[in-house]
Every structure is written in C-alpha cells, then in structure tokens.
Amino acid sequence: MNPEELGQLKELIEFLKQNQIGEFSLERGDLKVNLKFGSEQSSASAMDLASLARLMAMQQPLAAPAAQPAAPAVQHVAPQVHASAAAPAAAEDENAGLHIVKSPIVGTFYESPSPGTNAFVKIGDQVDNGQVLCIVEAMKLMNEIESDAAGEVVKRFVQNGQPVEYGQPLFALKAR
C-alpha cells in the first residue's frame, strides 16, 4: 500500500469516528472490510491498521463511504472578551454576539456548488435556518453545510478552496 492510500485509509477511519458512523463495510473483489465503532468489535480489535494496510495493498484505491451530509456546528459567542493565544481579544470583540458557524468535518471549503457558479451566500445576505451556506469536501464527498440560525452573513472566515479543520469558524451570522 502506498503512502497516499494509507493516508486515505487513516482519513476514512477518522472521518467515520468524527461523524459517529457506527458501522462501515467495503467490498472490493476478494477484500471485505467491516469496521464497527462503539462495540466489542472495534477497528483495533477486529483488524489492526497494519493488517488492513497489507490487505489494501493488493486492492484498488479506497473509495469513500456514502454518508449523509453533516449538520453544521453553530456556537453562540458570549459578549465577553477572553484573551487566548488562538484568538486575539480584538477579534473576539468583532465576533461578540454573533453566531459562529463552524466546520463539522475536516475537508476543503467551497463557496459554490461548482466552479464558475455563484456562491451560496455572500456578505450581507439574509439566511434562513437550514439554508446551505457552503460545501466542505471530505474524502471526495460533498457535504452541504447548512445554517441552524436565521440572520445576516456578516463575515466569512475562509477562502474558496482553502482546507478547513474540524471546529474551524466558517461564517459569522448576526441573528435576526
């Protein structure tokens, strides 16, 4: 198994854990992989990563699971200012009282459904609860990130095509 395929496998396992997908099956020719999380038969006890890597070395590249789009994590930021190394006090003042829409998964941020089309939302747009704000691509899956608050888009924290981490702020919304 080449390093890229091994990396894809590790990303898949991490994706399954982060999105609390309890069971995953993959069949490719003679290879059959079943992963179960949160039970006696976990990925570590059923088949360790090294064994799985050896089996995958003789197979085609790994395909991503068919999963439901993940719902966004939205946090209401309290109007208090706390000093921290990650976010300076001035930035926290700017975001005080805003709803921060965060990435629920690791992936790549896309502002529109396809290249050359209009962005889902732009600064100043009014959005409704459940409205699609962007897409985060993870393991070749396009996950629509929806707003769980109604309001005005006042800030976008990432640029189109930029990698995002789990919990990274994507948008700031001013509640209606």
Q: What is the pLDDT of residues 30-58, one digit of tens each?
A: 556 677 766 544 434 434 555 555 555 55
Residue 147's nearest CA partner among 75, 68, 79 is 75
Take residue 122 and report the two structure tokens written for it: 């732009």
Check whether 60 has a pLDDT greater than 50.
no
Mean pLDDT of 88-109: 81
Count of all residues that appear for the chain in the document: 176
Provide the angle, in degrees to the nearest 10, between the axes of the packed helices 49-56 and 3-18: 130
Residue 134, beta-bridge partner list: 145
| Residue 138: pLDDT band with limits 50, 70, 90 | very high
- pTM (predicted TM-score): 0.49
Read off the pLDDT of residues 84-96 as tens digits, 9 standing for 90 and up.
Answer: 444 455 556 677 7
**Alpha-carbon gap, residue 43 to 22, rounded angstroms:** 11
Q: What domains can you pick out in the chain, each with its CATH number?
A: 3-56 (no CATH), 73-175 (2.40.50.100)
Average pLDDT, the chain: 74
| pLDDT recorded at residue 56 | 55
Confidence at residue 106, expressed as pLDDT on a 0 to 100 scale? 95
56 sits in the region (left: phi over 0; alpha: psi -120 to 50; else beta) called alpha
Query: Comparing 12-21, 28-37, 39-48, 122-131, which segment has the lowest mean pLDDT?
Result: 39-48
Predicted pLDDT at 44: 44
Q: What's the CA angle centered on 82, arms 78 and 87, to 5 degrees?
A: 100
pLDDT at position 6, please? Answer: 62
SS3 100: strand
14 pLDDT tier (thresholds 50, 70, 90): confident
The secondary structure of residue 140, as a DSSP letter, is T
Note whether 134 and 147 are within 8 A (CB). no
What pLDDT is attached to residue 11?
Answer: 78
Query: Average pLDDT, stretch 67-96?
Result: 49
